[in-house]
Amino acid sequence: MTVKNLLMIFGLSLIVGCSMAAPGSHATADLKDKDGKSIGRAVLRDTADGVLVRLEVKGLTPGLHAVHVHAVGKCEGPAFTSAGGHFNPLQRKHGLKSPDGAHAGDLPNMLVTKDGSGRFESKTDAITLHAGPASVFDSDGSALVIHVGVDDYITDPTGNAGDRAVCGLIVAD
């Protein structure tokens, strides 16, 4: 086999390998409390059947906390209202239990243990890390928000989740 043929085969395998590797994009969010203190991190990863969202946090109050992707990539404390409402490109109602929902940014609640630490993992096919209408990397970006309370999964538009306790700008990794 000639060097030219080997280079062609190598080049084709790179092209095929790259096209098959489309899922696998990553994003992160440094999660900060209202005082700007880092309390954890989120990692988002594209998979073949959705985006896997993982969080690890410390220093929160024990109990269930709502987790949402918010529509604007700004996390100005202490209230984090700069993050806008829930990410909702399809203009649906709020709630994982809503017959008219859910927002693309609606995620399950996260359990924080009595020592203030929490781990969360959920997969969603309602958002993407690639270009398109459900991309968290739209013109104004997106943020990941943890609320002080639990999401009831139905009350529009917020799930009665209470104030925003933590916010992190979602950035491509």
Active site residues: 68, 70, 86, 94, 103, 106, 147, 164
* 151 in Cβ contact with 92 (< 8 Å): no
Query: Is the CB of residue 91 less than 8 Å from the CB of residue 162?
Result: no
Of 47, 69, 49, 67, nearest to 57 (Cα)?
67
Q: Burial level of 143, CB count in 10 A (0-12/13-18/19+)?
A: buried
Helix %, strand %, coil % for the chain, to 5?
10, 35, 50
